[in-house]
Amino acid sequence: MALRDVSATVLRGYVATLEGECSPRYARQILTSLSNIFETAIDDKRLVRNPMRAKTVRWPKAPDEDRDAWPLATAQRVRDVINPRYRIAVVVALGCGLRQGELFGLSPRDIDFERGVIRVRRQVQLLPGRLYFALSKGGKTRIVDMPRSVAVELAAYFLDHPAVDVELPWGGPEPDRLRHTYASVLLEAGESIVTLARWLGHSSPTITLDHYAHFMPEAGGKGRAAIDALLGTVPEYVPEGLVPAQGGT
């Protein structure tokens, strides 16, 4: 079937088939790749609109689940013992929160050492045994802050391993645990959900909160401290046992 013949009706039937044959998460991966193909066709003036964006084409709902992260010590251990040729992948994933495919799609031209940022413009996907370039998840690009420690390692890496041109067709992975560790470290350091959502490339802070709220065991601590500062210390005459322990509700 030609792309121009794929209608919302056809896609609704295809979505129904996927829902009966695979998990919602895998179905959404397939539909994302298909949507990327339509977007590429639009860029090439072969299509006017993306039928995947029709209101009547309802994607399977993504399952709600917590992300699993490595302890920071584990991530650092992986960084230190991995083959030196691939150490940079661990450093950038852990230091900037890039997805696996985004790491593989990174180019020196995406690194702005002067501003201290990385422009995430593409990812590499493996579809039916073949590598493709694709836009990042959600079909978007984004800018991510680059810590100085990451910049230093990237600069050294480019000196030791000069970049080579790679040509792949544009077509169409889930975030790995290094990405989740990146998120958990920032949240535990007090970074805001809104800022983290922007750096991770999430379309809404709600998505970030749904995935990573369990990495915020001290959530509410700042609020309690602010109220304590407003109301003052607990009077000495309050009977013992009525004052909740630190961190209680």
User: What average pLDDT does the structure give for the chain?
Assistant: 79
Phi and psi angles of residue 117, each rounded to the nearest 5 degrees, phi first:
-135, 160
Q: In terms of pLDDT, which residue wins out, 141 or 171?
A: 141
What pLDDT does 237 receive? 45
User: Can you tell me the distance from the alpha carbon of 8 to that of 27, in angstroms, rounded to the nearest whole number?
Assistant: 17
Supply the DSSP symbol for 221.
Answer: H
pLDDT digits (tens, 9 = 90+) for 94-138: 889 998 889 998 999 999 999 999 999 888 877 666 788 887 777
- Could you give the residue range(s) of every CATH 1.10.443.10 domain in the chain? 72-215
Per-residue pLDDT band at 151 (split at 50, 70, 90): very high
pLDDT digits (tens, 9 = 90+) for 165-195: 887 777 654 445 667 788 878 877 778 888 8
pTM assigned to the model: 0.47
User: Can you tell me the distance from the alpha carbon of 116 to that of 194, in angstroms, rounded to the nearest whole number?
Assistant: 20
> In the CATH hierarchy, which fold is given to the domain comprising 72-215?
hpI Integrase; Chain A (1.10.443)
CA-CA-CA-CA dihedral for 222, 228, 230, 231, to nearest 10: 160
